[in-house]
Structure 1
Amino acid sequence: MTDSKTFEFVDGDESLSICTREILDPSYGMYTWPCAPVLAQFVWHNRKQVAGKRVIELGAGTALPGMVASKCGAEVVLTDKSEPPDLLENCSRSCKMNHLGDNIKILDITWGRFNSNIMNLPPVDFILASDCFYNSDDFEPVIATVYYLMEKNPAAHMWTTYQERSSMRSIAYLLDRWNMKSTEIPLKDFNADDDFMASAHIPATSDIYFFDIQFKHPR
């Protein structure tokens, strides 16, 4: 069974409406999780900064943040794993729903695996990752993938949203190990307030955090 959600991004007289296509499936990537609209709101809030830039979204799923970046004028590559087989197809259909089918590239990239798709990626300015730090086993593969991209693009920023599900789980030690640093940006700083959360179908109990991650010492 398929469904869709519509997300509205508003700033004064400017607004943007994006639809995501969802499938009721146990796979994580078929659903627009609460972190995605928060990350998309940050992109929208910084749309002048991303316009004309090169953006890659990791674990794109229904691709809300990446589609917002594209609508804001960025050159976007969406990436996710090829299993289940309809994951990338669902991502593609979300793009087509928003008339972005010809403007966004979609590639099979699995965290921690370095195939020709990731090796041949174009230069990148911003890396988007929404709720990629979900399973502890994925934490280091995600960071390793980001490190590979940042090593080729030392000035790149990773913009990521994270939903805290356990105080015992942290990526701080991994960032230190991989020569990265993070800066937390409060949600209120980019208008991801209670009204936005309600409009984006995000439960009030969601503990979502935003981080800007960079190399500590660019090489």
Structure 2
Amino acid sequence: MYVWPCAVVLAQYLWFHRGSLPGKAVLEIGAGVSLPGIVAAKCGAEVILSDSAELPHCLEICQRSCQMNNLPQVQVIGLTWGHVSQALLALPPQDIILASDVFFEPEDFEDILTTVYFLMQKNPKVQLWSTYQVRSADWSLEALLYKWDMKCVHIPLESFGADEEAIAESALPGRHTVEMLVISLAKDSL
């Protein structure tokens, strides 16, 4: 299985903060091979992995990652961004939401933030820890974050020991910049 550079950076951020993870409720959205969620679970977090309910193969990959890492306690659920489903409604409040490279297609940005905002209403102190690969200078979350009353802090990769040159290497042509964000509700909405 190929693990995208964004997943590696987010996993490294989790490892850097491993002391704060035991007992935390963590949800990974768009989990794929689930590297960040697996690291969080190995560090003592109570993890739920999710991927699209419309893509059962993705959910099978999450299940396989749990099996390969001996993590039978990690729950895997289908969540489709922007859809209110029974699985979304049944989720307990989360402390941390993980999202590795989910901000891939601009047409999905609002659906992702709609789902995250719903979860933030259950626990206004929850944070979205997200990494993404910069693909276009024209794509920005800023207007949508403002619309959903959220704020964003950019985390320098070197602040948690990530060497972007080494981590973000890819077989794809060109240089790939990975960004680390912590998104939360704006103070006005708390």
Q: In structure 2, which of residues 90, 102, 108 is the aligned counterpart of residue 120 of structure 1? A: 90
Q: Greater relative contact order (Cα 8 A, min sep 6): structure 1 or 2?
A: 2
TM-score with structure 1 length normalisation? 0.81
Q: Are 2:163 and 1:208 aligned? A: no
Q: Which amino acid counterpart does residue 78 of structure 2 have in structure 1?
A: D
Match of 1:160 in 2: 130
Alpha-carbon displacement from aligned partner over 1:21-74 (angstroms, at most 9, x marks no partner): x3xxxxxxxx52221110111001000111210000010011000000000000
Alpha-carbon displacement from aligned partner over 1:75-105 (angstroms, at most 9, x marks no partner): 00001113333211111101111111x1200
CA distance in 1, matches of 2:69, 2:164: 26
Q: In structure 1, which of residues 124, 137, 149 is the aligned counterpart of residue 119 of structure 2? A: 149
Alpha-carbon displacement from aligned partner over 1:147-192 (angstroms, at most 9, x marks no partner): 0000111001110001111000001000000000000010000111
Q: Which amino acid counterpart does residue 167 of structure 1 have in structure 2?
A: A
Percent of residue pairs identical: 46
- Structure having the larger proportion of residues in helix: 2
In the alignment, structure 1 segments of 5+ residues that lack a partner are 1-21, 23-30
What is the aligned length? 187
TM-score with structure 2 length normalisation? 0.93
CA distance in 1, matches of 2:97, 2:164: 26
Q: Secondary structure at the match of 2:56?
A: coil
CA RMSD of aligned residues (A): 1.6
Runs of 4+ in 1 over 2 A off after TM superposition: 82-85, 201-204
In the alignment, structure 2 segments of 5+ residues that lack a partner are none
Q: Is the 8 A contact 1:56 1:124 kept in 2?
A: yes
Match of 1:111 in 2: 81
Q: Are 2:170 and 1:172 aligned? A: no
- Structure having the larger proportion of residues in strand: 1
